[in-house]
Amino acid sequence: MDFPMFHLDWLNDRFLIAVIAIIHVMINHGLAVGFIPYITWLEYKGVKNAPTDQISDSKWDTLIYNKMKVAFIITTTIGAMTGVGIWFSVALVSPSSIGSLIRVFYWAWFTEWVVFVTEVVLIMIYYLTWKNSNKSLNAKLKHIRFGVFLSIASWITMVIIVSILGFMMDPGNWNADKSLLNGFTNPIYIPQLAFRTPVAMLVGGIFGMLLTTIFSKKGSEIRILAIKYAGRWVLFWTAFAIAGAVYYWNVMPEAMKANMSTAVGSMDFEEYYDLLKYFIIGAASLSIVLAFWAIFKPKKVSFGLVMIPCLFVFGFLGIFERVREFVRKPYVIGNYMYSNLLREEDYPLYKKDGILKHATYTSVHEITPDNKVMAGRDVFMLTCSRCHTTNGVNSIVDVFENMYGKDKPLNEQAMASYIPGMHQGRAFMPPFPGNKKELEALVAYIKQLQSSGESLQGAQTDGVAVNADNAVDAVAKRIEAEKEQESENN
Amino acid sequence: MLLQINTPVPKDIPLDLPLPEWLLVTLLIVSFLFHIVFINLMVGGSIVTLWAQIRGLKEKQYDIFAYEIAKTITVNKSIAVVLGVAPLLSINTLYTVYFYSANALTGFAWIMIIPLVTIAFLLTYLHKYTWETMKNHKALHIGIIALSVAIFLFIPLIFLTNVNLMMFPEKWGAVKGFLSALVLPNVFPRYFEFLGACIAVTGIFIVWYNGRRNYPFEEIYISLTRAQVKRVGYHIALIGLAAQIVFGAIVLMTLPAKGVSFEVIEIMGVAGGLLVLALWWIWKTIKDTDERLDKHFWKITIAMLAFMICYGGSRQMYRHNALDKHQKMVAAHTASFQAMSKEARENYVEEEGALVIDESLGDLAKGTALFQASCAGCHQMDQQLVGPPIKEMKQIYEGDEAKLIAWIKAPGRKRQELMQMPGFPQIPDEDLKEIAKYILSVE
């Protein structure tokens, strides 16, 4: 409504966020939160297992250092930049929602930032002083202590960010008191943290095992030992991951269903939700198999063998985030803002006046038969384009063709009678916010999209058309008139 | 007049700022200052590395120097990124409407920052870690850092275009993509001033880095002395400062009139004076003997830091002046919209009123209207649309209204070739009866 609409008409806007965010989660969980404690533990084991006249077994230490090097390079490049990338992409695609969240969570994010700075400083100390610390036992132990600090700092970043994720799914009574504490007191917070923590450890351990198969010689003693350790680590955390998953899995529907307008919603939800169950079971059993294999047959563990569960658990992280995103629909911020970025509280006004009238950017503000399709395009951009494209991924034409038949011309009347009630049949859809004329314009546009196959360019290429009704001149006059009205009333 | 018609007045997010505006502004300026120092070191460091490594092809000493600077880039870049989060957060909060609008209007370039910077970072690691292994492929090795310098030189343009565009809502309707926003006045002078600052700050950093007592200089360099390397640093800083002063003057002269005030000019003038002072001290240092190279070091550093505070402060003042009126209008517009929305909410007529009831249908009027509203999107009279036609329903449920209602509430799936129907338990029973009556009445 109030922001120029960035739009990717083939790829889909949500896809942009999803790709960046999922890469970030994978790196954050698998190479930082879950990986650093694993590395620190192994570094410590090296010191403990070393002969009395040595500080650490130098081959072992080099192996662990090399593993850390991979994590260091990836986290400080792709990891850091995808973290910033989430901000960038969300600001483009979903400015109203992130803008609202920032106002509520400013301090949470500010604290998060302080922890981030600490984390970056610590990871540089930890990695860059590794070689130098091998000169004395004291320095080595101090170095290991830095590993512990780094592990704690990484985990705290997760402790904070989970509150914001939980909040978006279930803002609790935020609609009433608008305090950021709701992020921590909402019913999903503890379960989500109890789930994410061991999963991160699990993924970190499997990734670590994979790196061991790369950086050590087959059949060498340190390789066998490192694989055994990784097996023990994975087995230990899998137990907690399963417990956390069961806990979280059972809490989520309760919280999510409270968001949903109808019981039908829960039908769709459960169908989607079942998928997650199979993935959890699959990932957990695969991890257990791998762990036992690593403990009892460490010689047989090869790169190819670890690669499969490794891809699987990383894939699992992706699916998990996808489900989490899906179940929050039709809202982007529970009970406050719909996924089309319109606030629920403004719906009555939009229903009454239409949305174009209140849009800052639209080429049409008065619908006539001549500009109907143009108006429809603006309505589409304002109300559908966050999730749908014209002819690309999740295209609006496809959605209707799936309902009404692939090869048939779309029926405007049928669409016009379907759209106003669609949120009842399809509970993940927000209600259509516009008025009747806008609805007719929208279906005319969709029909034209089907026959012409044309695409829709976002503000990043085509710029914006300013609605003269909401430009400086008109707004100034309206505000003046309102003020006069007020003083007259007084 | 024309300008006004085209200046949008968006509504702001109707939530309070998390803390007083002046505090947010302070946080923005201070955190940005820290961020930009490390950005300067990252960009300037990579440029100096490239230069030194090319020079090192003939003079081996400079290759060592290049390697030493290269090692600092990867550290400075990590700090630069993480320190950038706080100003980003603050500008997002303070200037939500302005910043996000500029982002969206230059969206493609804006999002390209992420992959481009990632690539540049990976290249700096590759460059650093292959110094030994690629010593017989110098051209290729220099190519790696050259590519990352090219990226580092491009990225600031995207940022500057954004922070410039955000100050001019009157241009938003006219801008079509990044390139058209890039050529708005003042972007390029600011860009070259910034590059000057990168070089200058890096030069001073080199002086400091090589002067540290615990830096084993003598183990690293074979024939260069600390004094010689410090002199290199001062020379680099001299070039950077000179560029900064020249382009800073151009920035001041080309500043669009909208946000200019006497205070802005004054503070920018003071900032410029500080740079001239730093330049003078550097000049004196270069002319002096090796023993007295550190004499003005802290004065120079402080002058440059003070410059940054003044310059950053004056930019914020300019931004404030440029947007003040518009922000007030945005606030008034937001409040007026909020009031309208509240009124509409309080006087909201339930959907029922929206039903188009054709009284001539008598007993079936309500059922027909309800059917139109909830079912007609998928069901037509004689033809299969998404679901079966009404006539078929009648055949199936003739005389069994209760079963039809039960189905509508919780449908199963009989026809595998069609989509499953969603249930409608939210429709009240009396309405369902009306709908069923209508369905079973068709001929």
Give the model's confidence band at B210: pLDDT under 50 very low, under 70 low, under 90 confident, else very high: very high
Partners of B174 on chain A (C-beta within 8 Å) are 463
pLDDT of residue A267: 55
Residue with tokens 């609609």: A175
One DSSP character per residue, A223-236 reads HHHHHHHHHHHHHH
pLDDT surpassing 50 at residue A231:
yes
pTM for this one? 0.92
pLDDT of residue A126: 97
pLDDT surpassing 90 at residue B297:
yes
Is B9 in contact with A359 (CB distance < 8 Å)? no
pLDDT surpassing 70 at residue A272:
no
pLDDT surpassing 60 at residue B58:
yes
- The Cα of B174 is separated from the nearest Cα of chain A by a number of Å equal to 7
Strand locations in A65-114, DSSP E?
none
pLDDT of residue B292: 93
Q: What is the mean pLDDT of residues B53-75?
A: 96
SS3 at position A261: coil
Residue B401 sits at the chain A interface (C-beta within 8 Å)? no
Partners of B343 on chain A (C-beta within 8 Å) are 349
Q: Two tokens at A139?
A: 């320095």
Partners of A481 on chain B (C-beta within 8 Å) are none
pLDDT surpassing 50 at residue B357:
yes
pLDDT surpassing 90 at residue B364:
no
pLDDT of residue A263: 42
Look over chain B and give the mean of its residue pLDDT values, rounded to a whole number. Answer: 92
Q: Two tokens at B91?
A: 């500008």
Residues 181 to 240 of A: which have CB under 8 A from any B CB? none
The reply to whether residue A16 touches residue B92, judged by beta carbons under 8 angstroms, is: no
Question: pLDDT tens digits for A298-318?
Answer: 999 999 999 999 998 888 888
Residue of B nearest to A97 (CA): B13
Residue B175 sits at the chain A interface (C-beta within 8 Å)? yes
pLDDT of residue B3: 52
Is A323 in contact with A272 (CB distance < 8 Å)? yes
pLDDT of residue B351: 55
Residue of B nearest to A344 (CA): B345
- The Cα of B227 is separated from the nearest Cα of chain A by a number of Å equal to 27
Among A268, A417, A478, whose Cβ lies nearest the Cβ of B377? Answer: A417
| Three state DSSP letters for B67-103 | HHHHHHHHHHHHHHHHHHHHHHHHHHHHCHHHHHHHH
Partners of B12 on chain A (C-beta within 8 Å) are 2
Look over chain A and give the mean of its residue pLDDT values, rounded to a whole number. Answer: 89
Residues 75 to 104 of B: which have CB under 8 A from any A CB? 75, 78-79, 81-86, 88-89, 92-93, 96-97, 99-101, 103-104
Neighbours of B51 (CB within 10 A): 17
Among A346, A349, A421, whose Cβ lies nearest the Cβ of B373? Answer: A421
**A260 vs A122, higher pLDDT:** A122
Partners of A92 on chain B (C-beta within 8 Å) are 100, 103-104, 107, 110-111
pLDDT surpassing 50 at residue B1:
no
The reply to whether residue B121 touches residue A77, judged by beta carbons under 8 angstroms, is: yes
pLDDT of residue B103: 97
Residues 278 to 307 of A: which have CB under 8 A from any B CB? none
Partnered with residue A337 across adjacent β-strands are: A333, A343
Q: What is the mean pLDDT of residues A85-108?
A: 92
- The Cα of A399 is separated from the nearest Cα of chain B by a number of Å equal to 12
Residue B117 sits at the chain A interface (C-beta within 8 Å)? yes
pLDDT of residue B185: 87
Among B16, B108, B424, whose Cβ lies nearest the Cβ of A460? Answer: B108
Neighbours of B436 (CB within 10 A): 22
- The Cα of B52 is separated from the nearest Cα of chain A by a number of Å equal to 24
- The least confident of A58-62, A347-351, B359-363 is B359-363
Q: What is the mean pLDDT of residues B37-61?
A: 97
Is A371 in contact with A439 (CB distance < 8 Å)? no
Q: Which residue from A352, A316, A325 is spatially nearest to A438, judged by alpha carbons?
A: A352
The continuous run of DSSP H or E covering A331 comes out as strand A331-333
Residues 448 to 467 of A: which have CB under 8 A from any B CB? 458-467
Q: What is the mean pLDDT of residues A211-220?
A: 94
Is A204 in contact with A261 (CB distance < 8 Å)? no
pLDDT of residue A174: 63
Among A82, A92, A467, whose Cβ lies nearest the Cβ of B104? Answer: A92
- The Cα of B182 is separated from the nearest Cα of chain A by a number of Å equal to 13
The reply to whether residue B329 touches residue A4, judged by beta carbons under 8 angstroms, is: no
pLDDT surpassing 50 at residue B81:
yes
Residue B8 sits at the chain A interface (C-beta within 8 Å)? yes
Residue of A nearest to B107 (CA): A460
DSSP count for chain A of H helices, then E strands: 21, 2
pLDDT of residue B443: 79
**A255 vs A387, higher pLDDT:** A387
Distance CA A44, CA A54 (A): 13
The reply to whether residue A124 touches residue B107, judged by beta carbons under 8 angstroms, is: no
Residue A75 sits at the chain B interface (C-beta within 8 Å)? no
Give the model's confidence band at A66: pLDDT under 50 very low, under 70 low, under 90 confident, else very high: very high
pLDDT surpassing 70 at residue B354:
no
Give the model's confidence band at A426: pLDDT under 50 very low, under 70 low, under 90 confident, else very high: confident
Question: pLDDT tens digits for A436-481?
Answer: 999 999 999 999 999 999 999 999 999 999 999 999 999 999 999 9
Partners of B377 on chain A (C-beta within 8 Å) are 414-415, 417-419, 421-422
Partners of B331 on chain A (C-beta within 8 Å) are none
Residue of A nearest to B124 (CA): A77
Q: Two tokens at A160?
A: 């904070």
* Percent with pLDDT over 70 in chain A: 93
Residue of A nearest to B338 (CA): A346
Of how many residues is chain A composed?
490
Q: What is the mean pLDDT of residues A261-278?
A: 62
Question: pLDDT tens digits for A393-406?
Answer: 999 999 999 888 88
pLDDT surpassing 70 at residue A125:
yes
The continuous run of DSSP H or E covering B151 comes out as helix B138-165
The reply to whether residue B105 touches residue A460, judged by beta carbons under 8 angstroms, is: yes
Separation of CA A328 from chain center: 11
Residue A481 sits at the chain B interface (C-beta within 8 Å)? no
Distance CA A155, CA A159 (A): 6
Neighbours of A37 (CB within 10 A): 23
Residue of B nearest to A435 (CA): B354
Q: How many CB pairs under 8 A join A and B?
A: 267
pLDDT of residue B69: 97
One DSSP character per residue, A159-218 reads HHHHHHHHHHH--TTHHHH--TTHHHHSTTHHHHHHHHHHHHHHHHHHHHHHHHHHHS-T
Residue B341 sits at the chain A interface (C-beta within 8 Å)? yes
Residue A108 sits at the chain B interface (C-beta within 8 Å)? no
pLDDT of residue A262: 45
pLDDT of residue A221: 93
- The Cα of B431 is separated from the nearest Cα of chain A by a number of Å equal to 15
Give the model's confidence band at B352: pLDDT under 50 very low, under 70 low, under 90 confident, else very high: very low
Give the model's confidence band at B105: pLDDT under 50 very low, under 70 low, under 90 confident, else very high: very high
Residue of A nearest to B372 (CA): A417
Residue B111 sits at the chain A interface (C-beta within 8 Å)? yes
